[in-house]
Amino acid sequence: MQNGGAGALRIRQVLLLFVLLGMSQAGSKSGRFSVAEEMQSGSYVGNLAKDLGLEVGELFSRGAQVVSNDNKHRLQLDLNNGNLLLSEALDREELCGFTEPCVLHFQVLMKNPLQILRIELEVRDINDHSPVFLEKEMLLEIPEHTPVGAIFLLESAKDLDVGINALKSYTISPNSHFHIKMRVNPDNKKYPELVLDKALDYEEQSQLSFILTAVDGGSPPRSGTASVRVVVVDSNDNSPEFEQQFYEVKIPENSMLGSLVVTVSAWDLDSGKNGEISYTFSHASEDIRKTFEINQKSGQVSLTSSLDFETIQSYSIIIQATDGGGLFGKSTVRIQVMDVNDNTPEVTVSSITSPIPENSLETVVMIFSIRDRDSGDNGRMICSIPEDLPFVLKSSIENYYTLETEGTLDRESRAQYNITITVTDLGTPRLKTQHNITLMVSDVNDNAPAFTQTSYTLFVRENNSPALHIGSVSATDRDAGANAQVTYSLLPPQDPQLPLASLVSINADNGQLFALRALDYEALRVLEFGVGAVDRGSPALSSQALVRVLVLDANDNSPFVLYPLQNGSAACTELVPRAAEPGYLVSKVVAVDGDSGQNAWLSYQLLKATEPGLFSVWAHNGEVRTARLLSERDAAKHRLLVLVKDNGEPPLSASVTLHVLLVDGFSQPYLPLPEAAADAAQADPLTVYLVIALASVSSLFLFSVLAFIAVRLCRRNRASWAGGCSEPEGHFLGQLVDVSGTGTLSQNYQHEVCLRGGTATNEFKFLKPIIPNLPLQCPEKEENPPFCSSFGFSIQ
């Protein structure tokens, strides 16, 4: 019920607009022009700008155009000078028939703002048609006793011209029996009547012939002729008479073919053949003969062709009843065609704009007019569109409408609208016409690219091959065309010292990320940078996302032995008293691994020994201990080969040689190894002395430099240490050792090593790798603060 009420309210609003617009038409501008028919195309009609009081430039700037109700382009407007010109030759008779004056209605549409002006063009008649008789020979049968003064109706001539150019008079060739008298019917048609001036005598002259001439009023006048033959009939002195001299009939325009229109009836007082009556149409036009027929015996008039109220509203037919002797009587039948609602409304589109940009306000999409050829309520119309569309219909004059946007459109929500304009008349039954248009919405760059994620985390294993594809970022844009084409780029890093452009690159078209060179986990574990996505709209819109690249460790660093030193100098010899108990700590192999995780888990293994079973190496801490009690039978000198292996895949390893000397007590002087003693005995004494002196000086210098570096490091970082750093209580000195290997990377590494004082074993503690150029940090404060040092090494 609510929808029905809303629809009725909408209909009342549209009807009210029609009434108001009709009232406002009295004050609207209009122009009237006149032109003679049959003028050539391009002939001058008048100046529209001067007649309507407009500027010529205004017509051009406002896109003026001339349209007509039947959508035929009979006039053209020259926007350069405002002249109205004929687009084609006009035939007044074809356009208006016998209607006078012949006025054609046009509208001038102008935009910005929308204005509709009415103009009228009167087509003046010229004398281009001669009167024409439908029958070139007329036959009259007149009884010989017909009294003088009798009148005989002749077939009329037809002249398509109107006004002064129409049919004016009739004449006949000179004769002694007849003269012409012109009769004007109520429908203003002129018929010739033959008046008998002298009695006919069958025996004297059985027939007469003369020429009937029809002359129009043009200048110069035109004429048409027909021959009249009069046959004198002997003795029939009663003419047929109709029951009614005038019949009036109303018939709907949708009557079926063959239906009865009217029945006329006449009688004749004569008998025999002279009393037999036949009915015919007299002076009937071609339209009447095509539309109706009459039964010659019964006088029934029936329909033979479809009626159209919009073309012809009424017919006037003269019916002649003729007896067997040639006498006749006449009656007029007027047939009034009644209108029925048989014409659907028509929609004529004057202009349409598609596509229209999104976000535009109150844009005129289409200008159109509606028309219904019916009359009365059958010709009244209402116009509507679906209510769920963001458009509105606005009524103008002369049944013109504009379709406008009601608000802003969003192409991303809906890029196409199928709009159905429904025009319904108020007849019974109601007829309607639907006009469908497809409206496209063009894109405006109002959406920035959007990444599928605000941040991306990518993983790449170190030592990757250059130009390796490590992942992708993706952004989408809801716009279309160039506005949706996304280009990717790397954003400048926050740290200006980070050489981002030499580390990674991005494909500008698809967002694929590539590592430009091999990455080293030990040098760079996490790489964070921003990526941008910008569209190709105007102005361009953009967005950003964060990319975090995590470098995964690979087992690319072999264990490095810190102690005992393997620098090519004299081997370090560990002294072990023969009275040592099983499990006595002989030494400890200290090694580090530049990798992380399980790749840095080290295990120790005794590969070779001078006397197997005498010494053992603990697998997890590298401690070398005695495995049993020592005896006098055990050799004094032992050489141990210890293997240090990480837990990577595949595992990498390093080996170190440890020299052990068994002594009876620590007071026993150091004895050189047999190999060294033999070599010294064979060498030149002076050379031996020089080598010993050089080694001593070098060792002193090296120890001095290492001690100086350790003291400086402790002083510089004492404020930041939780437990503080101090000089070692034992005899172990921190050393910074640079070892060149044969690895695949070129980075320097430092590992923090602490010797915990006050312990029974003086264990080494390997805390963590130290990133170059970062300050050394010691563990938190303990009761026995350890001695901290840094062992640095580089792998080439």
* DSSP of 72-92: ---EEEETTTTEEEESS---H
pLDDT band of 643, cuts 50, 70, 90: very high
What are the tens digits of pLDDT across the range 7-56? Answer: 444 444 433 333 334 333 333 456 788 888 888 888 888 888 888 777 87
Q: Which of 333, 150, 152, 324 is nearest to 244 (CA)?
A: 333
| CA dihedral of residues 716, 721, 727, 728 (deg, nearest 10) | -140
Is pLDDT at 596 greater than 70 in this prediction? yes
CA distance 617 to 430: 110
Average pLDDT over residues 98-113: 84
Q: What is the pLDDT of residue 230?
A: 92
Is pLDDT at 435 greater than 80 in this prediction? yes
pLDDT greater at residue 137 or residue 571: 137
Q: Is the dihedral of CA 112, 118, 124, 129 positive or negative?
A: positive
Q: What is the pLDDT of residue 788?
A: 36
Q: Report long-range pairs for 295-302 (Cβ below 8 Å, ≥24 apart).
A: 298/263, 299/263, 299/264, 299/265, 299/266, 300/260, 300/262, 300/263, 301/260, 301/261, 301/262, 301/263, 301/264, 301/333, 302/258, 302/259, 302/260, 302/261
What are the tens digits of pLDDT across the range 476-524? Answer: 999 888 889 999 999 999 888 888 888 999 999 999 999 999 998 888 8
Average pLDDT over residues 463-469: 91
pLDDT band of 549, cuts 50, 70, 90: very high
Q: What is the pLDDT of residue 452?
A: 93
What's the Cα-to-Cα distance from 409 to each of 112, 354, 435, 503, rounded to whole Å?
21, 13, 22, 46
Average pLDDT over residues 579-584: 91
Average pLDDT over residues 592-603: 89
CA distance 239 to 725: 155
pLDDT band of 686, cuts 50, 70, 90: low
Average pLDDT over residues 574-594: 91
| CB-based burial, 191-223: b 16+ in 10 Å, e otherwise | bbebebeeebebeeeeebebebbbbbbbeeebb
What are the tens digits of pLDDT across the range 290-325? Answer: 999 999 999 999 999 999 888 898 999 999 999 888
Is pLDDT at 1 greater than 70 in this prediction? no
Is pLDDT at 752 greater than 80 in this prediction? no
CA distance 518 to 462: 7
Contacts of 755 (CB under 8 A, 6+ apart): 728, 730, 732, 734, 762, 763, 764, 765, 786, 787, 789
Contact 438, 354 (CB under 8 A): yes
Is pLDDT at 796 greater than 90 in this prediction? no
β-sheet with 623-626: strand ranges across? 585-588, 623-626, 615-617
Is pLDDT at 733 greater than 80 in this prediction? no
Average pLDDT over residues 416-430: 91
Is pLDDT at 680 greater than 80 in this prediction? no
SS3 174: coil
Average pLDDT over residues 576-581: 90
Maximum distance among all Cα pairs of the chain, rounded to whole angstroms: 194
pLDDT band of 571, cuts 50, 70, 90: low
Q: What is the pLDDT of residue 108?
A: 86
**AA identity, residue 477:** D
What are the tens digits of pLDDT across the range 346-403? Answer: 999 988 988 989 888 888 999 999 998 888 888 899 999 998 889 999 888 878 999 9
Average pLDDT over residues 454-468: 92
pTM score, two decimals? Answer: 0.49
Q: What is the pLDDT of residue 8?
A: 43
Q: Report long-range pairs for 286-291 (Cβ below 8 Å, ≥24 apart).
A: 286/134, 287/312, 287/315, 288/315, 288/317, 291/315
| CB-based burial, 713-751: b 16+ in 10 Å, e otherwise | bbeebeeebebebeebeeebebbebebeeebebebebbb
